[in-house]
Structure 1
Amino acid sequence: MARKTYLVSEGKSSGQLVIIVERKEDWASYFPSEDVVSAQEYLEQSRNNEFGKRVQVINLCRNYKYLGHGYYCSLLAEARGHKVIPSVKTISELTRKSLYGLALDDLEKTLEKALSNHQYLSTEGFTLRLYFGRTDMEPLQDIARQLFEAFPCPILLVEFRKADGWQIAGVKSGALHKLRESQEDQFANALDGFSRKIWRVPRSRRVARYDLAILHDPDETLPPSNAKALESFVRVGRSMGIDVELIEKKDYARLAEYDALLIRETTSVDNHTYRFAKKAESEGLVVMDDPTSILRCTNKVYLTDLLRSNKLAMPASEILYKDNPQELEQVGERLGFPLVLKIPDGCFSRGVIKVENQEQLLKATDELFEHSVLLLAQEFLYTDYDWRIGILNRKPIFACQYFMSKGHWQIFNHKAMGAEVIGECRTLAVHEAPRAVVELAVKTANLIGDGLYGVDLKQVGDRVVVIEVNDNPNLDAGIEDAYLQDDLYTLVLEEFVRRLELKRRGQAW
């Protein structure tokens, strides 16, 4: 058998690569390398060993079963401060689909498109081998990369099954000693490519006090922060000694590189933003929005119950159940027409319908019950504008008036010809907003938590009511920052620094 090429990383001056094999004969098909050690040799190394301070460990043991050689090598690598793949966390996640299944949801949505007109389309299933996130099946390369980012493991076996559509039926680690000759070639090339990348940006060159990641989607139509606002976060952060980096959905596996995460992409419990928040929290990052705030704010039914139980003012509201259609006959009489119907987790005025009579009510509920078994019905209160009070760590930081879209009863008119039309905005100093509005906003946000929120309220005469609490409030250049300008970004970043300093001292914030 011809020996396979393996090129040692050119970045040796900035770190050491260690490749662990369970038995030395597992490496027999490759050129000998001083980087390769047996599992026993690695386990017997003392903590202060010749590998140096910056070590990348690639664990190629035959399996990673609990308390086996592979498991202990990754465990000990982490204890020694070495960067290792797979990590103990990845090993644990790959043991049960209940742990890794959530990370596959978004990938499965793109499978059908990736596999259309492909040779595997006529089969019922197949298994794909990935080597450091690389595959020779070009249509699946992007999915392969995302799988490696979610589960950094040298060899992954991904099982695809076709039911109503293509699905990922399972993901597990593969073994080096089981590779055929053609597969060994692919593995060697992928390992070479991976080893050349790992020292590309030595962390020792970083001089910032803290590293903050901002999750955003450059293609989002209505993002929580526009491009200029994101630029301001980066610029202001630099002046404060904070290295602010914009990341995207594809950077999920890199979260542990940062000290904190700020989400500037529309959040939802059923998409990747919630997974980012959960992972950031589990990795010990300071994160806004935190997972609890996302859960509480994205559901209007929860908020309605919260306001009601705490006796805070809101529009007269009722919860409608798909399985209780008789209630639809009386809700109009109790709330009066017109009234507003809402899907619990809608955002940016989507999933919100105003109905003028019983006929429109029945038609609208038929439509909305297709998306949710619960709906919220509220009395209709028309005002020229809504108040938005920004709250950070239980204190108000900005006040905005969002005017209704021209000729429409909402701020966002999604049915406008040509594009979504947004009403005008006016930003004030907090002390210029009515005291009753600000006080009710703070009381409401404090029921959610101590993060960053935008509380929407309506004022009709002396009556002030809460419409909703947004866990991911807009911070747009030219709108929310119109009064404070750079100070708005400074306030947010200072709160991150405060929490990070307390965390460093082992104190709660």
Structure 2
Amino acid sequence: MSSHLIIVEKEADWQPSFLDMQVITVKDYLVEPEYFTLQNAKLINLCRSYRYLSQGYYCSLLAEARHHRIIPTVRTLRDLSSKAIYSLNIESLDELLQQSFNNQQYPQTTDRLELVIFFGQCEFPALQKLAQQLFATFACPLLKVEFRHQKQWSIYAIRILQLNALIDKQYEFFIKALNTYTLRKTSIRKRRRVYRYDLAILHNPQETLPPSNTAALRKFVDVGHKLDIDVDLITKKDYSRLAEYDALFIRETTAIEHYTYRFAKKAENENLVVIDDPDSILRCTNKVYLAELLKSHKVPVPKTVILYKGSAYTRRIEAELDYPVVLKIPDGAFSRGVFKAYNRQELTNKVGELFKTSDIILAQEYLYTPYDWRIGILNRKPLYACQYFMSDAHWQIVKHDTETGHYDEGRFHTFELTDVPEKVIKTALRSASYIGDGLYGVDLKETEQGIVVIEVNDNPNLDEGVENAVLKNELYAIILREFIRRIERKSRHFR
């Protein structure tokens, strides 16, 4: 039997031929004391109406007040209540929508198509990815989406379907989709016991340079169990299931135009604790923003010139910086998107090349040091300290081979925090404080002129054997205890 609890308006709505599941009426859920304090409850609200102040609406509203995980949430009901509201949420689906209709076959006889979506499943394989993304955006059990074609396909309307209004031929599809939805997570996670909290760690097993290696992810799982946290390693396919967790920890390289940012936004919208939070991703992944932010607070940074596409930049750069000049695209990561120009010709060629992908780039003075400091910071406190040395015969920590895709990394040295120069720690803490109270990695250089901040990372490395070389498993425990603290703080806030 599934661990999900089905809530219906009338007992007759759940037919005898349906799955063997826990089913109660909405009236019982709203008034019976035994449902007030359910632990780790996962609910599916299948009421006949979700209109404002109806029983179905109150079901979702009180479920959230009781810290039960329910679909649809009140936020979803609100988003689906008006086309003016949900139109804002479907703009990001346009590219997938066009691909789904233009590149695949589907039953098209007119310029209008209605698609029924049950728990992210639809009857047309060509439109399945689109159906899953619509469910991920609007996690409502039963949806009807109307598409219309005028020059190109678009979503004309999204409506909520009621279980008691389904026609006979739809019941079999409904049961299959419900079974897939309720059993998938259970079969993947194979829980042996119920934990107090559920933490999802987003990772990408195929990522070349992930922020946490496989051994570190396993440690998060093991240490989490000792702290009564069920740590679940998820991938981008699990977007629609975020509401089932208490918190999200992103251990994949983040970017704004990327699903990692959408995960962070959805987690925030679902009132989950999330690291990296959307604001931190937004602030840290753009080097232009960081340069201006740190400069405005008089944090020591390399001399920086912001270049705008179409502007005359050569004389300006040469007036302010000496060769070689470091050039950066705003959203590079892991030493990607960072280049060095030794003279005017190289500068002109590389800037012209970079302007093809970005309207703004940065030019900075070149400051060579044999290593960079990385100070890990969590909730405005130092967590770890590492020196990352430049890779052999290269001026960066990571040397990328653009032809083969291979890379080389320099060696490292992890320090006790008490052995790190005090000014390095203080400058790092000050820099991160302007971003937020999340998990950050501040990169700094010790130069003849003093400490210089290179950047603040929202998604710093936490690799087994490197960043935890001093703290060992305690590094993972500190982070997980911070998640517990934030989860419990949210719980107290909503009581």
In the superposition, relative to structure 1, how do residues 89 and 167 fare at CA in structure 2: closer, same or farther (>3 Å)?
same
Query: What code does the residue aligned with 1:20 have?
Result: E
- 1:401 partner SS: strand
Per the alignment, residue 442 of structure 1 pairs with: 429
- 1:448 partner SS: coil
Within the alignment, does 1:236 sit opposite 2:220 as a pair? no
Per the alignment, residue 446 of structure 2 pairs with: 459
In the alignment, structure 1 segments of 5+ residues that lack a partner are 1-9
Give the superposition deviation at 1:151.
2.3
| 1:340–1:377 CA contact under 8 A, matched in 2 | yes
Give the superposition deviation at 1:229.
0.5
Distance in 2, matches of 1:471 and 1:219, equals 21
In the superposition, relative to structure 1, how do residues 19 and 204 fare at CA in structure 2: closer, same or farther (>3 Å)?
farther
Within the alignment, does 1:247 sit opposite 2:231 as a pair? no
- Deviations 1:416-435 (CA, angstroms, capped at 9, x unpaired): 55333132231222233333
- 2:465 partner SS: coil
Distance in 1, matches of 2:65 and 2:486, equals 26
Distance in 2, matches of 1:417 and 1:195, equals 45
In the superposition, relative to structure 1, how do residues 29 and 283 fare at CA in structure 2: closer, same or farther (>3 Å)?
closer
- Deviations 1:51-89 (CA, angstroms, capped at 9, x unpaired): 89668454252x644456754565466668876543322
Distance in 2, matches of 1:33 and 1:456, equals 55
Query: What code does the residue aligned with 1:48 have?
Result: E
Within the alignment, does 1:17 sit opposite 2:3 as a pair? no
In the superposition, relative to structure 1, how do residues 420 and 170 fare at CA in structure 2: closer, same or farther (>3 Å)?
farther
TM-score (norm 2): 0.83
Q: Number of residue pairs matched?
A: 489
| 1:18–1:55 CA contact under 8 A, matched in 2 | no
Query: What code does the residue aligned with 1:296 have?
Result: R
In the superposition, relative to structure 1, how do residues 190 and 465 fare at CA in structure 2: closer, same or farther (>3 Å)?
closer
Out of 117, 134, 142, the residue aligned to residue 147 of structure 1 is: 134
- Deviations 1:401-421 (CA, angstroms, capped at 9, x unpaired): 222233332222223553331
In the superposition, relative to structure 1, how do residues 412 and 104 fare at CA in structure 2: closer, same or farther (>3 Å)?
farther
In the superposition, relative to structure 1, how do residues 236 and 17 fare at CA in structure 2: closer, same or farther (>3 Å)?
closer
Q: CA RMSD in A?
A: 4.0
Distance in 1, matches of 2:452 and 2:14, equals 73
Query: What code does the residue aligned with 2:252 have?
Result: E
Q: How does 1:179-258 map to 2 (within 5 A)?
A: 181-187=168-174, 189-191=176-178, 206-258=193-245
Per the alignment, residue 344 of structure 1 pairs with: 330
Out of 125, 134, 144, the residue aligned to residue 157 of structure 1 is: 144
In the superposition, relative to structure 1, how do residues 477 and 207 fare at CA in structure 2: closer, same or farther (>3 Å)?
same
| 2:106–2:126 CA contact under 8 A, matched in 1 | no
Within the alignment, does 1:334 sit opposite 2:320 as a pair? yes
Per the alignment, residue 352 of structure 2 pairs with: 366
Out of 382, 387, 394, the residue aligned to residue 401 of structure 1 is: 387
Within the alignment, does 1:476 sit opposite 2:463 as a pair? yes
Per the alignment, residue 173 of structure 1 pairs with: 160
Q: How does 1:96-175 map to 2 (within 5 A)?
A: 96=83, 98-99=85-86, 101-102=88-89, 105=92, 108-109=95-96, 112=99, 116-119=103-106, 126-160=113-147, 171-175=158-162
- 2:331 partner SS: coil
Moved more, 163-172 or 266-275: 163-172
Distance in 1, matches of 2:51 and 2:146, equals 20
In the superposition, relative to structure 1, how do residues 56 and 140 fare at CA in structure 2: closer, same or farther (>3 Å)?
same
Per the alignment, residue 404 of structure 2 pairs with: 418
In the superposition, relative to structure 1, how do residues 91 and 326 fare at CA in structure 2: closer, same or farther (>3 Å)?
same
Query: What code does the residue aligned with 2:9 have?
Result: I
| 1:332–1:339 CA contact under 8 A, matched in 2 | no
Out of 255, 262, 273, the residue aligned to residue 286 of structure 1 is: 273
Per the alignment, residue 272 of structure 1 pairs with: 259
Give the superposition deviation at 1:501.
4.5
Query: What code does the residue aligned with 2:117 have?
Result: L
In the superposition, relative to structure 1, how do residues 177 and 466 fare at CA in structure 2: closer, same or farther (>3 Å)?
same
| 1:390–1:396 CA contact under 8 A, matched in 2 | yes
Q: Work out the percentage of aligned pairs sharing the same amino acid.
A: 46
Distance in 1, matches of 2:35 and 2:320, equals 74
| 2:6–2:46 CA contact under 8 A, matched in 1 | no
TM-score (norm 1): 0.81
- 2:434 partner SS: helix
Per the alignment, residue 290 of structure 2 pairs with: 303
- Deviations 1:411-470 (CA, angstroms, capped at 9, x unpaired): 222235533313223122223333332222122112222221111112223522111000
Give the superposition deviation at 1:47.
0.5
In the alignment, structure 2 segments of 5+ residues that lack a partner are none
Moved more, 190-199 or 403-412: 190-199
- 2:248 partner SS: strand
- Deviations 1:89-115 (CA, angstroms, capped at 9, x unpaired): 222122346547547736844862796
Distance in 1, matches of 2:223 and 2:104, equals 49
